[in-house]
Amino acid sequence: MEIIVSCKSDKEKNGRLTLLKKISYYYELYDWKALLQFYAAWIRRVESGQNKWSDDTADIETPLLASSVRSRQNRTDIANFLEYGFPLSCEGSCSGLSEEKNHAGARSHPDDMRKYLKKECTYGSIIGPFFSNPFNTDMVISPLNSVPKKDTLDRRVIYDLSFGVDGEDSVNSHISKDLYLGNPIKVSYPSVDSLVELIRRKGSGSLCLRGT
């Protein structure tokens, strides 16, 4: 709390809060020592003028944090997924599902879309543009969309894998809700009761951060 109170500007305060939110979200996945190094590295980049508080930390996350996951038993696959991308675990043929026209939320905000695509290309999160299929397998084109973000002028970009062509068939309809890469999975979201139990375990005076 002392760090937040002593901030010199609202931009610094919001930047540090965002960074702390990310660390609180990652604490069960990464070693604490690696998270502290990640925090310190980003502070140095901001203080040296290499980055601004409003910048995304994604470009240093994988280089600094992936090795701390690899050091844990049976977590090599997660480290590789973080570095190279998570498989969709899409089963069956999706050929014929392509839609080359984006949704209205993308077409009506071309500047926001260009800004998003440029940023993601800079991070290495996406590649392209391509004028033909660069892969040695079939490819599906799903439409992009964008919606307003709360408390900001930026827009949230959505890659609509649920958009169905000729009915309900879509990429998401080929992704199992119960299996991931052949392994049974069960996804559950935290409840108010689980939050209360966490606060009780951590004790009075605990600080809670809500991820967005």
Whether pLDDT at 19 is above 70? yes
One DSSP character per residue, 143-206 reads -EEEEEPTTSS-EEEEE-TT--SSSS--SGGGB-SSEETTEE-------HHHHHHHHHHH-TT-
pLDDT at 106: 96
In this predicted structure, which of 4-13, 89-98, 109-118, 185-194 has the lowest mean pLDDT? 4-13
- What's the whole-number average pLDDT of the chain? 81
Question: 56 with 140: CB under 8 angstroms?
Answer: no
Question: What is the Cα–Cα distance from 32 to 18, expressed in whole angstroms?
Answer: 18
In this predicted structure, which of 23-27, 37-41, 144-148 has the lowest mean pLDDT? 23-27
Cis before 134 (ω within 30): no
Whether pLDDT at 208 is above 90? no
Highest mean pLDDT among 24-28, 147-151, 166-170: 147-151
Residue 144: phi and psi, rounded to 5, are -95, 155
pLDDT at 5: 56
For residue range 154-181, list pLDDT tens digits in order.
899 999 998 876 656 888 888 888 988 8
Highest mean pLDDT among 5-9, 28-32, 147-151, 199-203: 147-151
Rounded to two decimals, the pTM is 0.55
For residue range 90-141, list pLDDT tens digits in order.
887 777 677 789 999 999 999 999 999 998 888 778 888 888 888 888 888 8
DSSP 90: B
pLDDT at 138: 81
pLDDT at 116: 92
Average pLDDT of the segment spanning 9-31: 80
Question: What is the Cα–Cα distance from 62 to 68, expressed in whole angstroms?
Answer: 10
